[in-house]
Structure 1
């Protein structure tokens, strides 16, 4: 009987401890509505090895500084597992809001749900999260941008032109949506003979483009789902001496210069500054207890050599 009593007591103690653990620590609880003092924002970037994301990070930090917020920046280095760990570390550091640029829209869902569990609002930037409660997505119209790129190729080369596509990191909402927009036009008005992932990376874009050119000597145009891959494709094409139209996506400084120099045909330009500003401003509104839109689109623009003069 005595052994049974001790066992029962231990079981009850464990149960009570488990129940207490469900209560989030004091630093993880949401700030009182309207309190914007000592705000700490966690910014998780998919990679800082891409000029687009470096500039986007800078715009977030600039707007946060303007509002007197502290920003803790972490770089996932395009590793979904590292990004989940990074977000958990940010939560442990007591951030009041999380801005996440997902490496993988599905994999990041676990980290989003962890933040949800302790009441920390999550805003995703440039890319969406598949699951979990996201207060707002701040991103360009990726579907519209992909469509814009295809329509430009049709305008320049006519219907039936032979094209290739360099795809971004599989699993990212940006890659899915840009491809969706592109194919909404290309599948009926262009002849897509090759498409392959080059992971939004310039070197991979060059290597994949070299292989595509060898297997498809009749390619007339290329749509790359970001500027880094587009610039890699331009380099591969230049080595062959061929005249192939290339359209990128982002509007990075390197791409805009390449358009101006006549090396890159066009880029679908995003407004980095507005994305960064709106992300921080939306976080501030949430912390003030205000309602925000679940999706905040930022306008895009096709930039060609005529526009860059």
Structure 2
């Protein structure tokens, strides 16, 4: 069962991916016949652009995967660094349209704002694949119709894994606090929360959410949030932080408060994995952004080479396993 006595925040997003081993989608190769709604198979060399901010470890790892796969495919993929700035992104889109490239891999800075940009590219005849960040504000697993595909992790499944971790960490149930992400992509944060509740309930956990606060995806903000929550609710036995950075900040606050509450994170980052090994975080959910970048590049290249306008599957995810001290070796950090 799940109870809730108060909610101190309005959930919005992330920023924040586990491919155990890359399970790459093999799309149909070039053929001599047209698929329905497709165009003639491409025979020329592809000219692709990625739009990925490089100022943080996670997107930098996504970009590394994109470029790695481009090199393996013999396709040059130049990146436009949009610097976490929506105006930079809008300018980049106009430049891409002028260049008449064959396709774009977009890791949007703001999913809601990116809807217009994707439509502009689509109307200019340039196929767009979104990676990691949702375009639009609808259901996370229903990609914008102007996309070739959306390659990401299932945020609901990741939340579900975190909920099962929480049930294992606190089998007797009790009061818990949630440190939420904030910023863009409300639906992703919502899915991480809903998935957590579903996973915990499926495992038979009897939790009561007594407090929620935004951690803004940073360790410092999460530390302040957990400090406030544990002071107001000293009986909290577990915190679910929706990223490893926030989990680390929360763990620091609990240590200072001499609280024995356990912490669950999401991300599989080096910081999160190191904290699991040190015992300050109970567990996390393993994302692998570089492998996700590989999958994104392969999906777009295979789709274009097949002369199609849509990938065989438009919502493409991978497995995100739960990680604790007992299986921490299964998650080699990629960011």
TM-score (norm 2): 0.75
Q: Which residue of 2 aligns with 1:128?
A: 134
Inter-CA distance 240–111: structure 2 relative to 1 (3 Å threshold): same
Report whether the alignment pairs 1:192 with 2:209. yes
Counterpart CA distance in 1 for 2:83 and 2:179 is: 21
Question: C-alpha deviations, 1:172-195, integer Å up to 9, x for none?
Answer: 143232122113355883111122
Provide structure 2 residue ranges, at least 5 long, that are not aligned to the other structure.
1-37, 137-143, 330-335
The answer to whether the 8 Å contact 2:227/2:257 transfers is: no
Question: C-alpha deviations, 1:84-133, integer Å up to 9, x for none?
Answer: 33333333344321112223322210111111111111111122212451
Q: List 4+ stretches of structure 1 deviating above 6 A.
A: none
1:81 Cα offset (Å): 4.1
Report whether the alignment pairs 1:91 with 2:97. yes
Q: Which residue of 2 aligns with 1:151?
A: 164
Counterpart CA distance in 1 for 2:92 and 2:190 is: 24
The answer to whether the 8 Å contact 2:111/2:135 transfers is: yes
1:153 Cα offset (Å): 1.0
Provide structure 1 residue ranges, at least 5 long, that are not aligned to the other structure.
1-29
Q: Secondary structure at the match of 2:90?
A: helix
Counterpart CA distance in 1 for 2:241 and 2:135 is: 23
Structure with the greater alpha carbon radius of gyration:
1
* RMSD of aligned alpha carbons: 2.5
The answer to whether the 8 Å contact 2:162/2:199 transfers is: no
1:23-172 equivalences under 5 Å are 33-35=41-43, 37=45, 39-45=46-52, 47-130=53-136, 131-172=144-185
Q: Secondary structure at the match of 2:105?
A: strand
TM-score (norm 1): 0.81
Inter-CA distance 136–92: structure 2 relative to 1 (3 Å threshold): same
1:205-284 equivalences under 5 Å are 205-284=222-301
* Larger proportion of helix: 1
Counterpart CA distance in 1 for 2:230 and 2:266 is: 21
Report whether the alignment pairs 1:181 with 2:187. no
* Higher relative contact order, chain-length normalized (CA < 8 Å, sep 6+): 2
How many aligned residue pairs are there?
278
